Chain A
Amino acid sequence: MATIPEVMSDTPTRDDQDRSGGPAGPDQILPDGDPVEQPSADTPARRYTDEQKYQVFNKEFMPHIDSMYNFAFRLTTDEDDANDLVQDTYLKAFRFISSFEQGTNAKAWLFRILKNSFINDYRKKSKEPAKVDYQDVETTYNSEDAESEHTVDLRAESVSDLIGDEVATALNSLPVDFRTVIILCDIEGFTYEEMAKILDIPIGTVRSRLHRARNLLKEKLRDYASSMGYKEESEE
């Protein structure tokens, strides 16, 4: 019985490799303040009876299905891909239900599986236009010069009339890593700590990635705002 190695082979992401100790399955989402008990291949998996499995699945996993679908749709920007991704995620969650501990954060656990599946299976074939290498963008936006330009050239009044579609288009035009942090934080309301666990990155990285993502998003929104006739007061 090799449940956990199987999870690994299912989700061999770069992100998964850099946690020290223990294999990285979806099992690493632990409740706040819990002792970090990493189940390893040697640890017997939690044993649920079949009946308990269905109960956990229905009570802890199914209530998050709309959020999961929304996340999948925002990542793939395609309904068919979102369908497949959500289905794969839920089947995976059921298969590895023994590594889910009842009472822990099921939503974060599921989001982590979905995000890993997306990276492995869907990102490759995704049709999103204008792929930008994340490192390039991160480097560009690292310089203080770049940042200071982006702080105040958009005004609250000018974005208040934007509609959902415009916001969605602006969001979709961001590189996926930036898009993801915005979805997790602003749409799903995860805390930075939960995001760090879902994405397998340190909290400091969550914070800076979110900051850059928002600057980029505002730049896109500024384009919409100015196309609607808002002018920047200072420049012209």
Chain B
Amino acid sequence: MKEHCDHQVDCLKMIQLILDGEATDQQLARLKANLVSCQPCIQMYHLEQEVKELLTKRMEKKCCPEKLVATIKSKILTFS
């Protein structure tokens, strides 16, 4: 297991692409290899995944107030 990674910045960029679903098959294959052999890559992967999850799942999703929906709908009707 590698304790030190010389390309951390590039690996981090690759990890983000993969978590965003924007990576190529080649990048995916490289990550898979790193995830069994490179300690820093494993840590970065878990951290990026955790932060992304915080944003997608833990932050409150504000819903549009009903009143605003009604206002918009009524304003539209006066347009034509």
Contacts and interface: CB of A to CB of B under 8 A. Distances in A.
B contact face: mostly helix, strand, loop, or mixed: helix
A182 B55 contact: yes
A46 B63 CA distance: 32
Contact of B12 (A70, A73, A91, A151): A151
Interface in A106-161: 144, 147-148, 151-152, 154-156, 159-160
Nearest to A217: B51
Nearest to B17: A207
Interface residues of B, number: 38
Nearest to B46: A156
Contact of A218 (B47, B58, B64, B65): B47
Interface string B30-61: 00000000001001101111111011101111
B62 interface: yes
A91 B72 contact: yes
A62 B73 CA distance: 9
B54 A211 contact: no
Interface residues of A, number: 50
Nearest to A144: B9
B68 A69 contact: yes
Given A167-B58, A187-B56, A148 B65 contact: no
Contacts of B63: 66, 69-70
Interface of A: 50, 53-54, 57, 62, 65-66, 68-70, 73-74, 82-83, 86-87, 90-91, 94-95, 144, 147-148, 151-152, 154-156, 159-160, 162-164, 167-168, 171, 182, 185-187, 189, 191-192, 207, 210-211, 214, 217-218, 221
Interface of B: 8-9, 12-13, 16-17, 20-22, 40, 43-44, 46-52, 54-56, 58-65, 68-69, 71-72, 75-76, 79-80
